Structure 1
Amino acid sequence: MEITKRTLVEAWQRMAAGHALLQEVGLPRMALSDDELDEWAESAEGAEDGGLCLLLDEDGTVRGQHGPYREVFATRDLEQVLYLIAEAAMRRHVGSLEEVAAALERIDPMWGRRFRSGGLGDTGTVEACGRDPLEGLAWIAGSWREQAPYTTLAFFRAADGRTVDAERLALLYGADPAQVAAGTRLKDLRSVDGGRAHWDRQWQSCCFGQAGGWTFLLHHDTPPGAFADKEAYAALGIEESVWLTATSAKAIYTFDYVRDGRRVDDDWGALELIWYERGYAPYLRGGELDFLNRAVRRAELDHPELTSTFELYFHALEESLGLRLARRDFAEGEVRAAYWAKGTL
């Protein structure tokens, strides 16, 4: 069914008339062109509103926009559009996320389940997490936001049944071969001169290992000439990689997910973690990263005690992709570590 301004208005009027919670909720601003959207965003009304605007394409696609540049959904399904309008309205006018879910459930039980799942389909019963959210990966979120212990957290995974060799990966990046061969640990680097030497050289070090089916490599600046041996790097069999990068002193935190040699980002470009605001899906609804939207929503509902969006986001990465770091190994300095080889600096 092609969605026009008229069909959308009539469908919303029918929906609102049957539900007390929606009777005072009007349709979001609608634009029929990019120029109209720009004019609204530049106006005082658009600047103050900060809410949802609908851009109706000629082919019947409805694009939900927050401002002129951030598209949050695109669909030709009228029922999905009505749900997303109601979700945005309840989120703005109701209290907690649990209360938003309950309000949507009163309108339509499927809408309540949909909100709890974070997806756009009827996902059925959603099981609660039931685990400590700060164990698998999110324990590192707070210190990482302050660029500690490393500014780059990189994870690599091969095809099913294979493991990316952590030592070979570290060597290709430029880790000192003697320290890798000796099995040097982080506590060994910290023990020299009472830790003063490592304090001076920590920006030239890395930590590496395996957890949750992923091989991880944590570091600051990558030395020149890292993984120059393209054939050796290809031989590692890497099919997926996740990069979390913090830019020191600039408060820039980015997420990159590469699968089968292609960046997964719905053509959004740089994906900054500060885009994620509690209660709002960080990525395009129904897009390639929608699995992470769903994991974020579950983290929000399962763990209202977490006030840090970074901790919620990291827990969602653990739940959706299986990313983990051994908390005890880092706390006790047992994680494998090395300095970059002098020839690579």
Structure 2
Amino acid sequence: MNSIELGDLTADFAHLIRRVEQSGARVEVTEGGAPRGVLLPSAELAELEHFGQRVRGGPRPWSGTIGPTPAGPQRQGPYVRYPHSDAVRMTFARDHLVVAELRSVEELAWLEEKARTGRQGSMGPKQAAAFEEFLARRRPTGDGIAWIAGSWREQEPFTVLEFLEGPTPEAVALGYGADAQDVADGLLLHQVRERSDREGGEDFLDVLAFGEADGWTWLGHHDFGGALSPVLDPPASQRITLTATMAKGLYQFDYARDGVHQNPFPLEPAEDGRHDMYELIWYTPGRTPFAPDAPLGFLNPHIRRAEEQTDYTDGMSLFFAGLERAFGLSLPREALVSGQVRCARPARARG
């Protein structure tokens, strides 16, 4: 990428803009030798903006400098330069058509990262299906979660298992109403169990266990009867909830993305009212659990791979193994069994 000083650009831009328009090449703009911005063709910028807008993220970097109202447009040959009020960006046009833009180094880097992520999610139907097939063949990392499916079905060690992407374990625990002192002290699950064994009672049933594995915050808890009041703002980018109610034979799976519940059924027609969780007893190994046009249809190839590549035979374990492959979920088996995981009591229950 060629380079030019900002003063040289503003003094004589016609020749440079013609070269950018004809070659499609970027030009680095410096000031005193330090990078100031990048001049790039408008078509390339439009492509970056198109894919970048598909991705939610932090605020667009801003120079923080607001100068006086820019002077009027400056013309050189067939080209016109339009300066912006942030004293960095510039727009160059020819015959009322934008042909090049100058953007700050920070803004362009931010936009390129968003566009890169946006392109990954932009696939045609055949390409998307092939990519899902590729992802479904990945082996889970760590201990996975299928190992806990059998005991979870009996509500051991927890009634509810949750996985959240984005917030830290500590932030989630506090957001759920866990006692801040327990979180700060690093209370461990085995300590609560040992105290319950010595003093009696069932305090170990009233704790929120939490941790991090493979980029996900995981939670394990029982139904506190309202002791927990989950409040996360903003919501986790992804949230998976598995709830076991053995007495009623209810075993539910719920998935939300950016705070929006992902319906296990096709969204149309919506008048049937089926916008609820998925009951795991509906899943029969060997049969596709979700309609292809349902928001959860992307899970089908992952569950099929679990059926083909694992030794599990019961539906719960196979479904959990499918979630391993779809999301990369894992729970620390040895630490959970031994109680060497962090936990906290509900704030109002701490004595």
TM-score by length of 2: 0.55
Closer/same/farther in 2, CA of residues 127 and 295 from structure 1, 3 Å limit: closer
C-alpha contact 1:120 1:286 (8 A) present in aligned 2: no
Q: Superposed, which structure 2 residues align to 1:30-41 within 5 Å?
A: none
Measure, in 2, the Cα distance between the counterparts of 1:344 and 1:179: 9
Which residue of structure 2 aligns with residue 144 of structure 1?
152
Q: Are residues 1:174 and 2:182 paired?
A: no
Q: CA deviation at 1:226?
A: 3.7
Deviations 1:172-229 (A, max 9, x none): 21222222111011111122253664x612331110011121111111124536447x
Bigger proportion of residues as helix: 1
Closer/same/farther in 2, CA of residues 148 and 207 from structure 1, 3 Å limit: same
C-alpha contact 2:162 2:220 (8 A) present in aligned 1: yes
Q: Are residues 1:290 and 2:297 paired?
A: yes
Match 2:165 to one of 136, 157, 162? 157
Larger Rg: 2
C-alpha contact 2:133 2:301 (8 A) present in aligned 1: no
Measure, in 1, the Cα distance between the counterparts of 2:129 and 2:180: 51
Match 1:318 to one of 316, 324, 336? 324
Q: Identity across aligned pairs (percent)? A: 38
Which residue of structure 2 aligns with residue 215 of structure 1?
217
Q: Superposed, which structure 2 residues align to 1:221-260 within 5 Å?
A: 221-222=223-224, 224=226, 226-227=228-229, 233-235=232-234, 238-260=236-258
C-alpha contact 1:174 1:344 (8 A) present in aligned 2: no
C-alpha contact 1:179 1:338 (8 A) present in aligned 2: yes
Three-state SS of the structure 2 residue aligned to 1:147 is coil
C-alpha contact 1:173 1:222 (8 A) present in aligned 2: no
Measure, in 2, the Cα distance between the counterparts of 1:121 and 1:211: 28
Q: CA deviation at 1:124?
A: 11
Deviations 1:144-167 (A, max 9, x none): 000111111111112xxxxx1211
Deviations 1:78-121 (A, max 9, x none): xxxxxxxxxxxxxxxxxxxxxxxxxxxxxxxxxxxxxxxxx995
RMSD in angstroms over aligned alpha carbons? Answer: 3.1
Closer/same/farther in 2, CA of residues 122 and 153 from structure 1, 3 Å limit: closer
Closer/same/farther in 2, CA of residues 282 and 133 from structure 1, 3 Å limit: farther
Q: CA deviation at 1:313?
A: 0.6
Higher relative contact order (CA 8 A, sep 6+): 1
Gaps of 5+ in 2: 1-126, 268-273
C-alpha contact 1:211 1:324 (8 A) present in aligned 2: yes
Q: Superposed, which structure 2 residues align to 1:57-72 within 5 Å?
A: none
Measure, in 2, the Cα distance between the counterparts of 1:290 and 1:195: 49
Q: Are residues 1:302 and 2:309 paired?
A: yes
Read off the aligned partner of 1:151 and give its amino acid letter. T
C-alpha contact 1:150 1:220 (8 A) present in aligned 2: yes
Closer/same/farther in 2, CA of residues 184 and 343 from structure 1, 3 Å limit: closer
C-alpha contact 1:284 1:290 (8 A) present in aligned 2: yes
Closer/same/farther in 2, CA of residues 127 and 172 from structure 1, 3 Å limit: closer
Read off the aligned partner of 1:281 and give its amino acid letter. T
TM-score by length of 1: 0.56
Gaps of 5+ in 1: 1-118, 159-163
Measure, in 1, the Cα distance between the counterparts of 2:248 and 2:197: 31
Closer/same/farther in 2, CA of residues 123 and 321 from structure 1, 3 Å limit: closer
Measure, in 2, the Cα distance between the counterparts of 1:127 and 1:214: 18
Closer/same/farther in 2, CA of residues 185 and 278 from structure 1, 3 Å limit: same
Closer/same/farther in 2, CA of residues 300 and 173 from structure 1, 3 Å limit: same
Measure, in 1, the Cα distance between the counterparts of 2:206 and 2:147: 24
Three-state SS of the structure 1 residue aligned to 2:174 is helix
Which residue of structure 1 aligns with residue 202 of structure 2?
200
Closer/same/farther in 2, CA of residues 344 and 291 from structure 1, 3 Å limit: farther
Deviations 1:40-87 (A, max 9, x none): xxxxxxxxxxxxxxxxxxxxxxxxxxxxxxxxxxxxxxxxxxxxxxxx
